[in-house]
Amino acid sequence: MTGCISKIQPFSVYDGPGIRSVVFLKGCSLRCFWCHNPETQSKTPVMAKYAQKCISCGECINVCPNSQNEKTALFTPECTVCGKCSEVCFAEAIEKIGKEVTSDEIIKILLKDKQLYEESNGGVTFSGGEPLLQTEFLYDIMSKCNKYGIHTAIETALFASWDKIEKLVPVCDHFICDFKTADNQKHSEATGAENGLIIENLKKLAKTGKLKEVRTPVIPGFNDTDEDILAIWNIVKSLEKNIKYSLLPFCSICESKYKSQGRKFLATGIKEPSKEKMAELNNLLK
């Protein structure tokens, strides 16, 4: 079976227990204005250009089937994301992000680090984007991970129908779920979707015993007041016991990703929360 991924990142220590490889699947049904991985939002590949690497050789223009006025079609409606420009760019200034791969190809890569997973009590995490959107593909890879004894985790916003989540519960050891705000209207404005389905899924998933972590990205001006965090915490603590809850500070480093993909970063100008602010909110939870 095949699916679309943006990359496989080895040696992660932030995406579940131990040392892990993270497979980033493409496609997401939410549009959070601060999204750190904009290249994963679309379910198909996207183009990126790193202007500082360009040596102005003009090769990309020569091969672009839709070039006009001595320019490639990059970031215009005429661009078909064929990737020809990236293939001829020796300076690696253009990249096609995303490719169709088979589950066997992924497993072959993951198995190279199997010993590392075992020694660190780690494994493989499927992230995105929203991995639940490629349920069948994910089920196929995770079943193979199970067969090889590799610990599996999914990072998800849980904005999906329950039947998709339910299918993955038997093959996933560890669900890590994002929960952004308990305020439905704010959730809707910031992500493009209401939070009712997410809360319902959190409750159902908690009952399976596989919901191990809930995380909140702390976005200044959106969900960083004591009231915001306590409202989320009240929902999390009403779920099953032994679910780890943590706060992740907003990070503005992703702004350059938007620029390279010819997109506007909607969270521009928002400052990262200070260490003191994060400590205050964490103390509140204690």
Shortest distance, position 63 Cβ to ligand SF4, whole Å? 6
Structure tokens at 167: 């299918």
Q: Please identify, using beta-carbon distances, which residue of 54 and 111 lies nearer to ligand SF4.
A: 54
x/- contact string, 83-122, with ligand SF4 (CB under 6 A)?
xxx--xx-x-xx----------------------------
Q: Residues, the chain, total?
A: 286
Regarding 211 and contact with ligand SF4 (CB under 6 A), the answer is: no
DSSP sequence for 175-227? EEEE---S-HHHHHHHHSS-SHHHHHHHHHHHHHT-EEEEEEEE-TTTS-SHH
* 63 versus 266: smaller Cβ distance to ligand SF4: 63
Q: Does 59 bind ligand SF4 (CB under 6 A)?
A: yes
Query: Closest CB to ligand SF4 among 65 and 209?
Result: 65
Q: Is 211 exposed, middle or buried (0-12, 13-18, 19+ CB in 10 A)?
A: buried
- Residue number, 70 or 276, with CB nearest to ligand SF4: 70
Q: How many CA atoms lie within 13 A of 237 on its CB side?
A: 8
Paired strand residues for 101: 3
1 binds ligand SF4 (CB under 6 A): no
Cα separation, 96 vs 259, whole angstroms: 15
- Nearest-approach distance from CB 80 to ligand SF4, in angstroms: 5
Binding-residue total with ligand SF4 (CB under 6 A): 27
Which positions from 13 to 52 touch ligand SF4 by CB under 6 A, shown as an x/- string? ----------------------------------x-----
> With contact defined as beta carbons under 8 Å apart, do 21 and 10 qualify?
yes
Q: Are 248 and 215 in contact (CB under 8 A)?
A: yes
Q: Which positions touch ligand SF4 (CB under 6 A)? A: 47, 54-60, 63-66, 72-74, 79-85, 88-89, 91, 93-94
